[in-house]
Amino acid sequence: MDFDWSQDQDELRAHLRSIVEDVVPPGWSARDRDVATPDRLELTMRLCQRLAAEDLWIPHWPAAYGGRDASPWEQIIIGEELWGAGEPRGPQYMNTNWIAPAIVAAGTEEQKQRLLPPIAAGEVLWCQGFSEPEAGSDLASMRMTAVRDGDVYVLNGQKVWTSYAHVAQYCFLLARTNPEVPKRRGISILLVPMDLPGIEVREIPSVLGAHAIHEVFFDDVHVPAGCRLGEENEGWPLIRKVLANERIGAARFERASRVLASGIAATDAGGPQDRAAAGQALAACEAARMLAYAAVQDRIDGRDDTGSASTSRVASVAAERAAAQVLAAEHGQESEAAGNPADDQFTVSMPVSITAGTLEVQLDLVARLALRLPRG
Amino acid sequence: MDLRLDSEQDSIVDAVAALLRRGGRPPERARQVSGRLDAEALRRLDDTGFLDVAGDGSPRGHLTALLITEQAARDLVSAPVGARALVAAYTGVPDPPRAIGLAFGQRSIVRWGTDVDAVLMLDGAAVRLLPAGEVTAERVPSRMTYPLARVSARPGRGTLLGDGAAARMTRAWRAGLAAEIAAAMTGAVDVARAHVTARTQFGRPIGSLQAVQHRLAEAHVQAQGSMWLARRAAWDLGSDRQAALAAAYAASAAGPVFDAVHQVVGAIGFTTEFDLHLWSLRLPVLAAELGGPRAHAAAAAAAQWPARAQGPARG
C-alpha cells in the first residue's frame, strides 16, 4: 500500500494543468459542458484535439487502437484534472471513458476501423440513448423496439434525458430486439448515426440550464444491421460493465473540492464563517476521492463484484451536496445570483443523485455487492 | 498509488489478528476483559515487536502502525494499541512505556486512564509525558465499552517533549482515532449485516427490505471512507490537513453509523447478550475524543483557508 504518485504521474498532472490553463478561459463552469452555445462546443473540440495531439486523450486504450495501455491511475488523474476544471472535454468525456472501450471490447473489426479513429482524433460527438419515459431506474424495461428487416433494424420509440443530443453525430442506443424473452435477454446495442431520417431531437426546458436535457424520437428509423454492437439480444451484460466504467470516470469530488475551496476564498472574509461545516464538506470530498481510488484499485485487480464503484458514487453525492450547502450558507443571499459559486454548485449538485443511476440504485448495489444482503 | 496491502503488510496484519485471537474470539475475549485493560494482549503485541513498527519514521512505518491499530480495534482489543504504536512513536516519546493513555488537556476523560503506565498529555501547545504516579485518575462510571477515567495533572509535572510535539501528537492521534472509528464501524456493520440476513419478519429476511439495506449501505460507505482517509493520513503524517480531514469525517459519521446499525437490528441491539454494543458503544467515546468532530473539521478548514485561521470563528 502506497499513497504517493510517481514522478511520471505528477508530471502528467502538471502537464494537464498547463493545457487547461492554456485552452480553458477562467470562469469555465461544469455547466458549460452541456455545450449550449457554438463557442462552448468549439472550445471542447479544441481541448480534445489538443489532448489528442499531446497523447493525453486515449492513453488507457489498447496500443492496437492508438492508446498505450496506460493504467487506470493515469485515467483517474486525467479525470481529476479535467473534471476539476469543469470537464472542458464536454460531451467527449463519454467517448474516451466508456463508449470507445465498449467498442474495443465488443465491436467488429469494421466497426473499430470506422468508429474509433474519429473518437481518437477528438472530433466526433456521441450521446447515450438509455432512459425512456417508462424505463428510468428500471432500465431493462425499455420499450424502444428494433425490428430486423433484412439487413436493417427498424427503430421505433423514444429516449429521454439525453444530454448532448442536439450536437451528437452518433447515439449509443439500447433497444429491444426480442420482446418474447425475459426483459434483460432481449436487448441489443445499436450505434446509430443521428442524421438518419426519422430521428427528431427536442430540447426539454429545464432549471439546469440550456441544452442540459433532451428527448429523442425515433420513427421508423432504418439502421444498418452492421451498426449493432455485440451479439443480438446480448446487450445487457455489456451495458452493466459500461455503466460501472461511467461511474468511475467522473471525478466529481475533485471539482466539488475545488469549487468549495475557491468559492469560500472568494467571500468577503476570504475564509469560512462556519469553519466546522466547511471542514466537514472538505472531508466529504476527500472521502469520496479515497473511495474512488479504492474503486480504481478494484478495477485494476479485476474485481468487479465488490460494489466499490457504487460506494464511491454514494460518497460523491454526499460530497457534492455538502459543498453546495456550505457555499450557500457562506454566500448568503448572494448565492441566489446567477454566476455566484454557490449558485453554480447548487445547480451542478442538483442532478448528481439522479444521473448515471440514482442514489437508490447505487445503494441497492452496495447492499447487494458489498454487504451481500438478500435480494428483495 | 497502490491500495493493496503488500505481502509484508498482509502478513503483519494476519499475524496481529492471529496473536490477538489466541486469547479467544473477539466478542468472548472482550467480555472476559470487560471494564479493564487487556494487559496480556498488549504484552503479546509488545513482545513480538508490533508496537515498534513505526520506529523508522517512514510513511510505510506509520501506515503499518495504523494498520495494526485498525486490526486491534476491529478485534475489540481493550488496550491503547495506537497510543503506543503510532502516537507515542510519532510524537517522539523516548523509551515509551507499554500502556499509554492519551489526555486532551489538564483534566479530561482518558480511556484506560486508571490502568495505564503513563499518560501522554496534550496541553495546549505542550506535550507532557506523565508516569501514572504523577496524575490523578478517577474511574468514571459509564455504559460505554471502554474503561474510562477522569485524569488530571498539576501544571509543570512530567517530562516536557520538544518543539513541534503538540502538532505531531495531534496529527497521529487524529489518524489513529479515525482508524479506530473505522474499525468499530466495520465491526458494527458486520454484526448488523449478519443479523438482518438471518432475521425474518413478514415472511422474509429483513435485510431484503430496501429501507434496511439503504441504511446499512450508507453506514458501509461511511466506514470505508473513514478507513481510507485514516490510512491516507497515516501515510502523510506530516499533513495537518489530511489528519484533520480523516478525524473530521470519521468522528462526524460515528453518530449516523451508530444510529443505522442499531435501527436495523432493533431491540436486540440493546441487550448485552448480543454482540453489537461491543463495537457500537465504542463510537460515542471515540467521536468525542480530542475535541470531537467540530474541532477536527475546524482544523481542516484552518489548514485549507489559512487566511481565516487568525480571525474569529463560530465553528
Render pLDDT for B55-69 as a digit per residue (tens, 0 to 9).
Answer: 889 999 999 999 999
Contacts of residue A137, Cβ cutoff 8 Å, sequence gap at least 6: A357, A358, A360, A361
Chain A residues inside the 8 Å CB shell of B225: 287-288, 290-291, 315
Least CA distance to B192: which residue of chain A?
Answer: A371
By the 10 Å C-beta count (0-12 exposed, 13-18 middle, 19+ buried), A337 is classed as: exposed
Q: Among A274, A287, A315, select the one facing B315 at the smallest CB separation.
A: A274
pLDDT > 70? residue B308 = no
Phi, psi dihedral angles at B257 (to 5 degrees): -70, -40
Residue B40 has pLDDT above 50, yes or no: yes
DSSP class of residue A234 equals: B
Q: Residues B146, B150, B156, B158: is their CA dihedral positive or negative?
A: negative
Sheet with B118-123, edge to edge strand ranges: B100-104, B118-123, B126-131, B159-160
Q: For residues B87 and B102, what is the distance between their CA atoms, to the nearest angstrom?
A: 9
**How close are the terminal C-alpha atoms of chain B, in Å?**
34
Beta strands in A85-139 (DSSP E): 126-129
Interchain contact A366–B (C-beta under 8 A)? yes
Give the pLDDT of residue B309.
Answer: 46
Residues of chain A with pLDDT under 50: none
When pLDDT is cut at 50, 70 and 90, the band that residue B310 belongs to is: very low
DSSP label of A375: P
Name the residue among A295, A264, A85, A4 with its Cα closest to residue B239: A4
Distance from CA of A311 to the nearest CA of B (A): 6
Residues A190 and A233: beta-carbon distance below 8 Å: no
Distance of alpha carbon B147 from alpha carbon A101, whole angstroms: 55
What pLDDT does residue A248 have? Answer: 63
Q: Residue A209: its pLDDT value, please? A: 87
ipTM of the complex: 0.96
The predicted model gives B76-98 an average pLDDT of 97
Catalytic site positions of A: 246
Residue A283, C-alpha cell as written in the block: 472531508
Q: What is the pLDDT of residues B210-248, one digit of tens each?
A: 999 999 999 999 999 999 999 999 999 999 999 999 999
Which site among A1, A253, A313 would you substitute to test the B interface, given the most B Cβ atoms closer than 10 Å to its Cβ? A1
Query: Does residue B315 carry a pLDDT above 50?
Result: no
CB A260 within 8 A of CB A37: no
pTM of this prediction?
0.95
Give contacts of A 289-328 with B, CB under 8 A: 290-291, 293-294, 297, 301, 311, 314-315, 318
User: In chain A, what residues touch B287 (CB-CB under 8 Å)?
Assistant: none
> Which residues in chain A are closer than 8 Å to B2, comparing Cβ atoms?
1-2, 297
Whether pLDDT at B190 is above 70: yes
Q: For strand A170-176 and strand A126-129, is the pairing parallel, antiparallel, or unpaired?
A: parallel
% residues pLDDT > 90 (chain B): 93
Q: What is the pLDDT of residue A304?
A: 81
A323 contacts on B by Cβ (under 8 Å): none
Task: State the average pLDDT for chain B.
Answer: 95
Is A293 within 8 Å of B228 when comparing Cβ atoms? yes
Q: Do A271 and B307 touch (CB under 8 A)?
A: yes
Q: Which residues of A touch B195 (CB under 8 A)?
A: none
Whether B232 sits inside 8 A of A301 (CB atoms) is no
